[in-house]
Structure 1
């Protein structure tokens, strides 16, 4: 036997009493391993051998692991990291990859006794390569490094070289690679949310609902109990929808997770022009019934308030579902997604580049409907496109996606390509196609938190700072005072664009004057063109109407109207041209709503609102039981509301608690049914009558006004 190798049989280790526990000071000194050394855990063995390897100058790796029938370890080996032989996996033998393997035999074998003690049974200290303490690397993350990686992961900070440096406390001490860090993150994610995706999602949703009762979610299962569809919306999104329900975008093309379930977010635009979520779904398939299921649950979640405009993809199933669930909502098709499909539908034509350029010119540069119809017919004839079904379907749906036909539809910027990019970037950096279902739900919450923080920063910026004026016009000062900074910047861009405009008087008919404003713009072909717009100005009623319809489309008066206002020496515009939607001084409900991540540093208003929601929810549950009780509650709420609006109550802090003049009765007793009276009702499980075989779980059945919205 080699002098550098010593061994003892397993039986000798189990019954022998010559083995001793390794003292902590011996582990710190890095003493040479010997047969018979005992340890209390695998971690102690690794720490001892890692310290020894660091002093000697080699790395270590765990090999030859074997467990019993219950999965508990029976024995394992810790070997030199150069153990084993290199096997090439390169596609070409002329491009071999570097390898550290030299077939080194240095290692220690460890057996686990029946009493749980770890004992070294074999030691080999001879290496077949050079040793260097200054160049050895031990791939092990300590608790501090794991904590840093976990915090960064929850904050959606992408793993990079800086993460490795921080975890090692400096470049010179970097011993773990990116794979080690990613493995650690994956392990923490798994333990954070549980093992099973569906079960973990259920538990995660319940925790969020416990923190805010207005969190809403529905899970749809098939006959075998397998998760099929999923929808959820947090309390803040539900409250925000009340302020921004004028236009909603629904997109199914963003990404899919590892189960092939497409992500379907409901997205709107807030008062800063930022993307804001109104709920999100994960669907198992893209058929009409599934979309109807999702739309109806979303509509129920939003207290049955349908949006004024909904923007979707050009999908026949979605279009049919929208007609079924939103019959009174204007349905528009996403312009960006349509233009993105041009290559796959027209690339086979020999004159593809000309067709593409011509089509974009028709869509973006047509001024009147007659011009659009004429140029479209010319394109079809010139390039012989009569048999193209895709173009035929676009023409049939032209009123739903061509900007010219939607000029009088308010879209808050979502009907053009300018805003689509920011919507699609909502989840970037948080989730991808390989993200598991439980990881996605958690990262979704982090993405939402980031959006809320961005909105809060924009609110603070608009309140505490002003964008400097670029002109002496009084109406610019007027918009500066009331609009958020981001929207005011867009208005200022129209003032700058006025430099390229010239105005001429055409004529008048009574109080209505007509002007022609010529504008210079760059077309799709890069050529600068002159376009003339008619602007009508009613001096008596102070109404201005421009052919470009930017105000109707975006809510911001255009450069052509500004040019006419300057011509007529107008310093202020009436309130009808200042939309509440873009104002910065309006108190919006959703800014007071707490969410699952707002437990720390909660504002006093948030605490009050949570208490009010809880109390109103209990009252509403009792009031709906009988007509008399309902009338009693509504009568007193109406009286209380009128008193509050008329300032007939004393709300000064100095008189806080003195509510003797308020018409408030003692609270009604809550029927506990054997449970504590303050405990929230348990979730209901119902069978959906509209879809046979669908098992739907409603985890939150309270609408924003406190009424019960679950199907009966």
Structure 2
């Protein structure tokens, strides 16, 4: 810790190092009355070195200014035990919490001053203390002996930005310094520093304003990045981001407010209710019917297995009549909403095979983990965390894309070697393959000016305007184009 303060420097204030003197005695000479100092800050640092070697803490005291100006004329640095405790509690009242008394009225201090326009000189140096000194093995814990350097702050910030927990970063730095006593600060200093940075950022810039500025900068760097802000209820930000195209199908739970809003804002969208939520809520409304296997069978048929609207009506009527449920209010409400949850009423509506909101709930769970507790109240950090997670998803998709392309090529070669026609190319394993893979293939061919026409096959599969079989053949036989 002593080396951090630069002790042992042989040339400060014109005094050469005397080998026979201890560090304390050497610093005492360099701080003697009449010694010239560069500035008040240099004086404070040198006095802290002396205090660290001696075993006491330092605090900044009073300062005087030249008359009529804000220019400092004199400044004092005092022992941290200077002053006495204020007696705020009356004698007849026992305080609930008794604080430790750390002020002993110590008079030890150092004062520097100067004439106007002159150099700084030590004008007073009181050496005597009225308390015991701190043990040598504990002086690194004194507040005046602790300081996080700019290099250390940069290192910590870089590692924290890489999503390494601050506690792990500090453990690493303590190991590198061969002990916390050589680090120059304690863990609380690091936590306080970063809490202060976050607080100042939110107060000075405003968390929402900072996020908007981040969006502006990102849109300037990435032309395809889109962002918008809804400033009132009349703006249609989502539709604008989607080029004015409304969603084909929207899944929600049984929220009447959501139903009304979707019918108003997206009148062309098919609003469906999550079947999982319906089945979760049903037991609280059905009572004794929950244990009736016959009723459950008819209920599941109405929900999943009817092939037409007519079949649904027949099955529903049978369920109501067989179990005398004609006056059941909840079932009446579900019947009125049948077009939003029963499969036969949505066969002609695109829904990608989904029947519930589980896909979005899984995504929400991942995003909540990405916006962890430390960044939950910081909008910009939360956005960056989610953006990094999205990049990871895209990278994983690209890996699956490459693997799927290789699988398709291998399957095509196997078909050719056995002289079996590729009757159904879509039956080939294609997990993870994307349209982008096929598009890239044809983009490369168009650059060469060798894009082929129609492939002679009995069952060509058209994907985005291109023939899938031709794509497989070309990928399996790259030498044909050369």
**TM-score scaled by structure 1?**
0.41
SS at match of 2:138: coil
Is 1:103 aligned to residue 103 of structure 2?
yes
Change (3 A) 1:304 1:585: closer
Residues 369-407 of structure 1 show CA distances to partners (whole Å, capped at 9, x for unaligned) of 3689988999997xx995x8xx98777656546899879
2:437 to 580, 583, 587: 587
SS at match of 1:305: coil
> 1:452 Cα shift?
0.2
Q: Which residue is equivalent to 2:148?
A: 141
Change (3 A) 1:23 1:458: farther
Which of the pair is proportionally richer in helix? 2
1:210 to 220, 223, 248: 220
Which of the pair is proportionally richer in strand? 1
> 1:420 Cα shift?
1.5
SS at match of 2:134: coil
Quote the Cα distance in structure 2 between the aligned partners of 1:435 and 1:147. Answer: 23
SS at match of 1:205: helix
Change (3 A) 1:143 1:180: same
Is 1:185 aligned to residue 183 of structure 2?
no
Quote the Cα distance in structure 1 between the aligned partners of 2:271 and 2:401. Answer: 33
Is 1:463 aligned to residue 422 of structure 2?
no
> 1:440 Cα shift?
1.4
Give the aligned CA root-mean-square deviation in angstroms. 6.2
SS at match of 2:227: strand
Quote the Cα distance in structure 2 between the aligned partners of 1:379 and 1:36. Answer: 105
SS at match of 2:386: helix
Change (3 A) 1:331 1:65: farther
Question: Structure 2 regions of 5+ residues with no counterpart?
Answer: 1-11, 88-93, 304-311, 413-420, 452-482
Kindly indicate whether the alpha-carbon contact (under 8 Å) linking 2:400 and 2:433 is maintained by their aligned counterparts in 1: no
SS at match of 1:216: coil
Kindly indicate whether the alpha-carbon contact (under 8 Å) linking 1:58 and 1:132 is maintained by their aligned counterparts in 2: no
> 1:146 Cα shift?
0.9
Quote the Cα distance in structure 2 between the aligned partners of 1:374 and 1:480. Answer: 53
Question: Structure 1 regions of 5+ residues with no counterpart?
Answer: 1-20, 88-92, 221-228, 230-288, 468-476, 483-570, 593-640, 651-712
SS at match of 2:136: coil
Quote the Cα distance in structure 1 between the aligned partners of 2:15 and 2:400. Answer: 56
Quote the Cα distance in structure 1 between the aligned partners of 2:302 and 2:15. Answer: 86
Q: Which residue is equivalent to 2:159?
A: 152
2:131 to 128, 131, 137: 128
SS at match of 1:331: strand
How many pairs align?
A: 390
Change (3 A) 1:125 1:356: farther
Residues 610-656 of structure 1 show CA distances to partners (whole Å, capped at 9, x for unaligned) of xxxxxxxxxxxxxxxxxxxxxxxxxxxxxxx9998485389xxxxxx
Change (3 A) 1:186 1:455: same
Q: Which residue is equivalent to 2:358?
A: 417
Is 1:326 aligned to residue 266 of structure 2?
yes
Change (3 A) 1:110 1:462: farther
Kindly indicate whether the alpha-carbon contact (under 8 Å) linking 1:79 and 1:105 is maintained by their aligned counterparts in 2: no
Q: Which residue is equivalent to 1:55?
A: 53
Kindly indicate whether the alpha-carbon contact (under 8 Å) linking 2:370 and 2:389 is maintained by their aligned counterparts in 1: no
Change (3 A) 1:326 1:134: same
Quote the Cα distance in structure 2 between the aligned partners of 1:385 and 1:84. Answer: 79
SS at match of 1:217: coil
Is 1:166 aligned to residue 172 of structure 2?
yes
SS at match of 1:218: coil
> 1:412 Cα shift?
7.1
Change (3 A) 1:377 1:302: farther
Is 1:195 aligned to residue 204 of structure 2?
yes
Residues 352-373 of structure 1 show CA distances to partners (whole Å, capped at 9, x for unaligned) of 9x99999xx979x935436899
Kindly indicate whether the alpha-carbon contact (under 8 Å) linking 2:33 and 2:125 is maintained by their aligned counterparts in 1: yes
Quote the Cα distance in structure 1 between the aligned partners of 2:255 and 2:16. Answer: 70
Quote the Cα distance in structure 2 between the aligned partners of 1:373 and 1:116. Answer: 103
SS at match of 1:145: helix
> 1:208 Cα shift?
1.7
Quote the Cα distance in structure 2 between the aligned partners of 1:148 and 1:301. Answer: 39
Q: Which residue is equivalent to 1:310?
A: 250
